Each structure stands twice: as C-alpha cells, then as structure tokens.
Amino acid sequence: MAYRRTPAVQARLDAQREAVLQAAVGLLAERGYGGCSMAAVADRAGIATGSLYQHFANKAELSVELFRRVVNREIDAVHEAVARRETPEQRIAAVVETFAARALRAPRLAHALLVEPADAVVDAERLVFRRAFRDVIAAEIAVALAAGRLPRQDPELTAAAIVGAVGEALAGPLAAAPAPRARAHGQAPGPAQAHGQAPEHAQAPVPVPAPVPTAAPAPGDALPDVVPALVSFTLRALGGRDDNDA
C-alpha cells in the first residue's frame, strides 16, 4: 500500500517549502544566483540540506521556482501601475517606469533576474519574463494605433525593442550598485544548524521576509535620472511626443 501523507504532515511540508522559497528570495537579493546554493538556502531556511531535496531535486529546479515567484511579483506590480493610467502612452510609460524604478530599488535582485549567468532553465524563464512585459506594451501600442495616436508600426516588434533596450540600459547601473547588507552574524541558528537535521515533528521554520522593491529611487539614490530618461526614450521610440520635450 502506498504511503499517504496525513493532512498535518502535508501542511508541515507546505509550510517548509514556503519558508525555503522565502529564504531563497532573500539570498537572491543579497548574493545573486551564485549565492543561492542548496546548502545556503537550507541554512537560511533553518532546515537540513537533505530536507531541502524533499522539495526540489536540484538547484536548477529551485532556481526556476524562485525566478517565477519573483517575476510574477514584478508583473503584478506593472499591471497595477498600468491600471491607474488613462491613455495608452501613459500606460506604456508606466510599464517602463515601474519596472525600472523597482529594479533600482533592489539592484542585486534585478541583476540576478536580468543578466546574471544562470542555469539554462533559468535563461528560458527569462525569455518568458521578457515576453510578458513585451505583451503588455504591445497591447497598448495596438490600442494607440487603432486610435490614430501613433505612426504605423509593428506593436510586438516595437515592444520587444523597448524591453530589450530598457534591460540593456539598466544592466550597468544594476551591476554598479552596492550589494545589500547581509543578515547580521550571531543570529539564532535554526534546527538544522543546531542539530544537523530537521526532525519530522519539528515545526516549520518562520519564513524569512524577502525585500520588496516598491517605489522609484528616492533623491540621493544611485543614478536617479535613469528612470525618467528611460521613459522619455520609450515615448520617443514609439514615435509619440514626450511631454518633457520643449
């Protein structure tokens, strides 16, 4: 007879998986993919490395799930910003403004999402990520074209070019930004650190909050002019007029 997990055991495993993913997001924001080894993630989550393999077969599988979690958060933020704007040009500007501002708020995390060398499966996810942003912009270009607000063009081609240009423009500032401060030493160890393993009856570790980028860089932050410059570039690339133009 096949073993069936009890609801209590399944709930504990689900909570542990969530703690692992939150710990991985925190490490990604601090150290990038290179610092998200299975051992490091397990240590941050407070479980034994062996227990981590109950949830993810290898680092590539963990990285894909991690990437999807962070990317979906960014896409949601863009959709929320777009919903608050009235014209298609404003909505396109909102995509670029929101994406760039959040990236500069969490540069190590954004660098890992966009350009840091990673597993091939993660590179495949990056293409999905870029297409998601392309599709949002392309849809708004199509609306503007139908209303006669922009010169004739291929919405998907223009949108893909904008996404690629914005990503390339951000690569330098993101790489040059200082790394975030890591967790302080001397923090209380989790069960795996104290005993070398996570017993079956142990409670799931408390999730580690992940840094959430939320707004445009405040005055004094590195390269604060990057965001408005990218918005202006985007509007000009569409063939429209930037309101900041003389």
The pLDDT of residue 14: 85
Q: How far apart are CA 28 and CA 69, in angstroms?
A: 12
Kindly give, in sequence order, each residue whose CB lies less than 8 Å from that of residue 55, ignoring residues fewer than 6 positions away: 13, 16, 17, 20, 62
Average pLDDT, rounded, for the chain: 81
Question: Would the pLDDT of 86 be above 70?
Answer: yes
Neighbours of 128 (CB within 10 A): 11
Task: Tell me the angle at which helices 226-238 and 88-105 cross, rounded to the nearest 10 degrees.
Answer: 150
The pLDDT of residue 186: 38
The pLDDT of residue 212: 38
The pLDDT of residue 198: 38
Quickly list H helices, 106-154. 107-114, 120-146
Task: Tell me the angle at which helices 155-176 and 120-146 cross, rounded to the nearest 10 degrees.
Answer: 130
Its pTM stands at: 0.74
Question: Would the pLDDT of 217 be above 50?
Answer: no
What does the block give as tokens for 198?
């996570």
Residue with tokens 């990437």: 67
